[in-house]
Structure 1
Amino acid sequence: MLSEYYEQIEAVVLNLSLTALFLLMAYAVHDVLKKNDVPMAGRLVVYLVLFLGAAGFLAKGFIQVFWQSSGVG
């Protein structure tokens, strides 16, 4: 049974791992910004960049699913 769903399990684990990685990066960045007393404008820029990186991975995933469902890739 495991061999039937191997690719699906691999995709789910990869997505969960990337989510955990982005959450850990956000926590580390938050901790560094808090300890160094960074102004609010700087924090917003850093969080925006981190969010855009995560949004890029989400967009890639949606595009990949869309292309595979339409038979392009």
Structure 2
Amino acid sequence: MSAETVQHIEGILLNVTLAALFLLMGYAIHDVMKKNDVPKIGRFVAYGVLGLGGLGFVVKGIIQLFYIGSGV
């Protein structure tokens, strides 16, 4: 297997692992907030922060694709 193929596989596995981690964190946050009867605004803030973190990784991936495509 070439080094480029290994890097491509590692990139895919990293993205899948990060997505799974965000889903597990979301489930843990949901469980804690449900057990402690958190108000809706608190839930909105917690999910918003988690969502913005995940969105940051998506934007980072898109920016990397643009850089790779332009040859930078």
Structure 2: give runs of 5+ residues left out of the alignment. none
Percent of aligned pairs sharing the same letter: 57
C-alpha RMSD of the superposition: 0.7
Which structure's residues are more often helix, by fraction?
Answer: 2
2:24 aligned partner, one-letter code = L
Q: Offset at 1:43?
A: 0.3
TM-score for the superposition, normalised by structure 1: 0.92
Q: Offset at 1:7?
A: 1.2
TM-score for the superposition, normalised by structure 2: 0.93
Partner of 2:39: 39
Task: Measure the CA separation in 1 of the matches of 2:6 and 2:68.
Answer: 18
SS at match of 1:38: coil
Partner of 2:70: 70
Structure with bigger RCO (C-alpha 8 Å, 6+ apart): 2
Task: Measure the CA separation in 1 of the matches of 2:12 and 2:56.
Answer: 18
SS at match of 1:30: helix
Q: Give the aligned length.
A: 70
Structure 1: give runs of 5+ residues left out of the alignment. none
